[in-house]
C-alpha cells in the first residue's frame, strides 16, 4: 500500500499534466539551480518547433517529494556533489520504474557524484553508453554522430549514457556535452547560433522521446 499511492498518483497526473517539466532539487551542496534560463528556453523552442504545449515556467521539485510523480520529465544538472537520502532513493526508483524519465546533464564536475548515487537507486543496473543509432538521436532532429559537443572542458568526446528498465530508457545522463549551457540565453555563454541550435534540437529530441516512450 505504501508504494501503491504514488503509482496511482503518477498515472492520474499523466492524464492532467502530460506535458509538464520540472527541475530536480537535490541534497549534497551541488548547484542544482544552475543554468536558470536553460529549461525555459528549451520549452519555448519545443513549443514553437515540435508542437508541444509545455508550461513555459518549469516547476522545482525535491527528489524525495511525491510531487515528482506529477511530471513525466525531470531535469537535473549541476557542477558538484549530489546526495540521495533513503527517502530520495526509494521515491526516485518508484518514479522511474513506473513511467517517469530523468535527464541528468552534467554541467561539469557532477559525474563522480551522480554515478555513485545512482548505484544506490539501482544497485544492479549500470549506466550504458547509447549507440548513435538509438532513437533519441532522431526523434525530431537527426544526429547521426550522436550527442553533440556544446562546451569544451577536458577535450573529451561527448557521451550519452542510459539506465534501462524492462528495455525502456528511464534515465539519460549526458556527459562532456553541456547541453544546458547551449540552452541558456545567448549572451550568457556567447555561443554561436549554430551551436545553440544543436543544443536546442538535441534537447527537443530528449523531450519528445520522454513524452512518447
Under DSSP, is residue 115 helix (H, G, I), strand (E, B) or coil? helix
Note the pTM of the prediction, 2 decimals: 0.91
DSSP code, position 70: G
Compute the distance between CA of residue 168 and CA of residue 142 in angstroms, rounded to an integer: 21
Residue from 8, 162, 178, 42 nearest 109 by CA: 178
Q: Which residues of the chain have pLDDT under 70?
A: 1-18
What domains are defined for the chain?
4-212 (3.40.50.12140)
Rounded to whole angstroms, the maximal C-alpha distance in the chain is 52
Cβ–Cβ contacts within 10 Å for residue 121, how many? 20
* β-pairing verdict for 21-25 and 59-62: parallel
For residue 19, the model assigns a pLDDT of: 76
pLDDT of 154 reads 78
Residues 69-105: tens digit of each pLDDT: 999 999 999 999 999 999 999 999 999 999 999 999 9
Nearest partner of 58 among 31, 79, 39, 36, judged by Cα: 39
**Are 79 and 110 spatial neighbours (Cβ–Cβ below 8 Å)?**
yes
Q: Is 205 exposed, middle or buried (0-12, 13-18, 19+ CB in 10 A)?
A: buried
Burial degree of 54 (CB within 10 A; 0-12, 13-18, 19+) = buried
- Number of Cβ within a 10 Å radius of residue 158: 18
Which pLDDT does position 158 carry in this prediction? 96
Contact 109, 57 (CB under 8 A): no
Residue with cell 544506490: 120
So what's the pLDDT on residue 152?
Answer: 77
Nearest partner of 185 among 16, 37, 39, judged by Cα? 37
* pLDDT reported for residue 73: 96
Amino acid at each position: 500500500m505504501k508504494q501503491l499511492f504514488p503509482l496511482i498518483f503518477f498515472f492520474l497526473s499523466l492524464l492532467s499534466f502530460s506535458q509538464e517539466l520540472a527541475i530536480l532539487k537535490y541534497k549534497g551542496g551541488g548547484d542544482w539551480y544552475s543554468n536558470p534560463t536553460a529549461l525555459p528556453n528549451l520549452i519555448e523552442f519545443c513549443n514553437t518547433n515540435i508542437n508541444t504545449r509545455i508550461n513555459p515556467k518549469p516547476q522545482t521539485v525535491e527528489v524525495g517529494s511525491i510531487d515528482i510523480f506529477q511530471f513525466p520529465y525531470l531535469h537535473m544538472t549541476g557542477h558538484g556533489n549530489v546526495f540521495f537520502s533513503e527517502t530520495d532513493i526509494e521515491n526516485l526508483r518508484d518514479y522511474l520504474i513506473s513511467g517517469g524519465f530523468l535527464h541528468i546533464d552534467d554541467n561539469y564536475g557532477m559525474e563522480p557524484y551522480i554515478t555513485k548515487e545512482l548505484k544506490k537507486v539501482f544497485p544492479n543496473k549500470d549506466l550504458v553508453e547509447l549507440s548513435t543509432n538509438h532513437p533519441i538521436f532522431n526523434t525530431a532532429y537527426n544526429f547521426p554522430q550522436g550527442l553533440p559537443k556544446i562546451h569544451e572542458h577536458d577535450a573529451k568526446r561527448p557521451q550519452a549514457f542510459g539506465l534501462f528498465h524492462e528495455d525502456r530508457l528511464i534515465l539519460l545522463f549526458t556527459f562532456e556535452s553541456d547541453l544546458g549551457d547551449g540552452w541558456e540565453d545567448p549572451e550568457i555563454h556567447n555561443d554561436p547560433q549554430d551551436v545553440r541550435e544543436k543544443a536546442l534540437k538535441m534537447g527537443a529530441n530528449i523531450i519528445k522521446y520522454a513524452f512518447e516512450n
